[in-house]
Structure 1
Amino acid sequence: MHNFLPIAYFRNQFVPFGEANLSIATHALHYGTGAFGGLRGIPDPQNDQQFLLFRLDAHCKRLSNSAKFLHYDLPADKIQQILVDFVKKNRPTTSFYIRPFVYTSDLGIAPRLHNIEKDFFVYGLELGDYLSPEGVSCRISSWYRQEDRSLPLRGKISGAYITSSLAKTEAVESGFDEAILMNSQGKVSEASGMNIFVVRNGKIITPGFDQDILEGITRDSVLTIARDLGIEVIERSLDKSELFAADEVFLSGTAAKITPVQRVENYHLSTERPITEKLREKLTAITENRDPKYQDWVFPIAV
């Protein structure tokens, strides 16, 4: 059961969540012509009159860039102001997740992006741990990650998530928590909605952008934190066998945060995860605004 925040932004105004409804003829519903973002926020643990959003500027910029693939000009600063107002109106009492969404709002039936109405809405929900913080089991999916030559993978295009949905359900129905998708070259790409990292011999290895991955904001945060901690980071293609031989494997994403992997297929990984835990502790401190080095990653909203 989802606990949705009471106020949504819909058709250029704030309305009760239950009144933000779309027609069944909405173009984006039929053709996947939408793009979304997702960002986390918390009530400030040190100030009960303030909320903290993690990397708000990066999320707004990515959504604005995603909107361009839909031929929709939606400036990042406009998105940011709406999200700030959204938090002020809802005043969540616990950890929460915000979902902004741009889409073709027309009621036409032709698959196109030209001469068609676009719009933007925002809703949110209370959200604790998306995946178990104790760790997850993963299977190698029979579904492959799309290629950028067929879908603009630099954007979070809603239609692309049919593959994620197929892979996630396949994993869960076969007894696993999560799926790992390979790309068309047979290399590791990402999980159903998260980036993936391998730790071997004290170094972090993760697929680069040339492996058809999403440009994850949490991924970028993890890489920056690791380098600042003096941990060597290597971005390159990653073979399936490296998952089985890894010292540690973890996933990252806005919803998942940093989640360790306990098992890949029938290969059990070590329960000792010093690098994963170090990164997770650091990221938690940053999101709670307890690390002055990364204060520019945290956007405070006073109410």
Structure 2
Amino acid sequence: MHNFLDIAYFQNKFVPFKEANISIATHALHYGTGAFGGMRGIPNPENPNQILLFRLDRHCNRLSDSAKLLNYDLPADKIQHIIIDFVKKNKPSKSFYIRPFVYTSDLGIAPRLHKIEKDFFIYGLELGDYLPPEGISCRISSWYRQEDRSLPLRGKISGAYITSSLAKTEAVESGFDEAILMNTQGKVCEASGMNIFMVRNGKLITPGFNQDILEGITRDSVLTIAQDMGIETEERAIDKTELLIADEVFLSGTAAKVTPVKQIESYHLSTSRPITEKIKQKLIAITENQEPKYQEWVYTVDC
């Protein structure tokens, strides 16, 4: 059961969540011609009248870029202004997740992006741990991540998530928590909705942008944190067998945060995860605005 926030932004105004409804003929519903974002917010542990949003500017910029791929001009500063108002009106009292969404709102039946109405809405829900924080099991999916030459993978295009959905269900129904997708070159790509990292010989390694991954904001944060902590990092192609013998593996994402991987297929990974834990705890402290060095990553909303 989801606990949705009371107020949504829909058709250029704030309305009760239950009244924010679209037609069954909506173009994006049929063709996947939408793009979404997702960001976390928490009440400030030191001031209950404040909400802390993690990397608000980066999330707004990415959604604006995703909108461009749909032939929709939606400035990042407009998105940010509306999200701030959205938070002020809802005044969440628990950890929550914001889902902004741009989409073709027309009721036509032709698959196209030109000469068609587009719109933007926001809703939110309370959200704790998306995945078990103690660690998860993963299987290698039989489904492959799409290629950027066939889908604009640098945007969170809604239609692209059919592959993620197929992979996630395949994993869960075969006894695992999560799926790891390979790209069409047979290299490790990402999970169903998260980026992936491994540690080998003290080095933090993750697939680069040329591996058809999403340009994750949490991924970027993890790399920056690791480098600031003196951990060597590398972005490159990863083979499946490297994951199976890695010292540590974890997933990163807005919902997943930093989630350790304890098993891949029938291979059990070490329960000693010193680098994963250091990064995880540092990220938690940053999101709670406890790290002055990273204060620019946290936007404070006075409610």
Q: Which TM-score tier does this pair reach, normalised by the shorter chain?
A: over 0.9
- Can you list the C-alpha shifts for 1:214-266, whole angstroms capped at 9, x where unaligned? 00000000000000000000100000000100000000000000000000000
CA–CA separation in structure 2 for the residues paired with 1:237 and 1:280 = 23
Using the TM superposition, give the Cα deviation of residue 98 of structure 1 relative to its aligned residue in structure 2, in angstroms.
0.0
> 2:187 — aligned with what?
187
Using the TM superposition, give the Cα deviation of residue 51 of structure 1 relative to its aligned residue in structure 2, in angstroms.
0.4
> 2:260 — aligned with what?
260
CA–CA separation in structure 1 for the residues paired with 2:102 and 2:84 = 17
- Can you list the C-alpha shifts for 1:76-135, whole angstroms capped at 9, x where unaligned? 000000000000000011000000000000000000000000000000000000000000
Amino acid at match of 1:293: K
Using the TM superposition, give the Cα deviation of residue 291 of structure 1 relative to its aligned residue in structure 2, in angstroms.
0.2
> 2:143 — aligned with what?
143
CA–CA separation in structure 2 for the residues paired with 1:93 and 1:298 = 18
Q: Secondary structure at the match of 2:48?
A: coil
1:172 maps to 2:168 = no
> 1:83 — aligned with what?
83
- Could you tell me which runs of 5 or more consecutive residues in structure 2 were left unpaired when the two chains were aligned: none
Amino acid at match of 2:255: A
- Can you list the C-alpha shifts for 1:149-174, whole angstroms capped at 9, x where unaligned? 00000100000000000000000000
> 1:9 — aligned with what?
9
Q: How many aligned residue pairs are there?
A: 303
> 2:106 — aligned with what?
106
CA–CA separation in structure 2 for the residues paired with 1:171 and 1:48 = 39
Normalising by structure 2, report the TM-score.
1.00
- What percent of counterpart residues are identical? 81
> 1:52 — aligned with what?
52
> 2:92 — aligned with what?
92
Q: Structure 1 runs of 4+ off > 2 angstroms?
A: none
Q: Secondary structure at the match of 2:138?
A: strand
Using the TM superposition, give the Cα deviation of residue 186 of structure 1 relative to its aligned residue in structure 2, in angstroms.
0.1
> 1:131 — aligned with what?
131
Alpha-carbon RMSD: 0.3
1:276-287 alignment runs, 5 A limit: 276-287=276-287
Amino acid at match of 2:22: L
Amino acid at match of 1:58: R
Amino acid at match of 1:91: K
CA–CA separation in structure 2 for the residues paired with 1:30 and 1:255 = 26
1:25 maps to 2:25 = yes
CA–CA separation in structure 2 for the residues paired with 1:48 and 1:239 = 46
- Can you list the C-alpha shifts for 1:174-206, whole angstroms capped at 9, x where unaligned? 000000000000000000000000000100010
Using the TM superposition, give the Cα deviation of residue 48 of structure 1 relative to its aligned residue in structure 2, in angstroms.
1.2
Amino acid at match of 2:85: D
CA–CA separation in structure 1 for the residues paired with 2:91 and 2:126 = 11
Normalising by structure 1, report the TM-score.
1.00
> 1:213 — aligned with what?
213
Q: Secondary structure at the match of 1:15?
A: strand
- Could you tell me which runs of 5 or more consecutive residues in structure 1 were left unpaired when the two chains were aligned: none
Q: Secondary structure at the match of 1:48?
A: strand
Q: Secondary structure at the match of 2:142?
A: strand
- Can you list the C-alpha shifts for 1:40-89, whole angstroms capped at 9, x where unaligned? 00000011110000000000000000000100000000000000000000
> 2:224 — aligned with what?
224
Q: Secondary structure at the match of 1:119?
A: strand
CA–CA separation in structure 2 for the residues paired with 1:69 and 1:214 = 14
CA–CA separation in structure 2 for the residues paired with 1:172 and 1:144 = 17
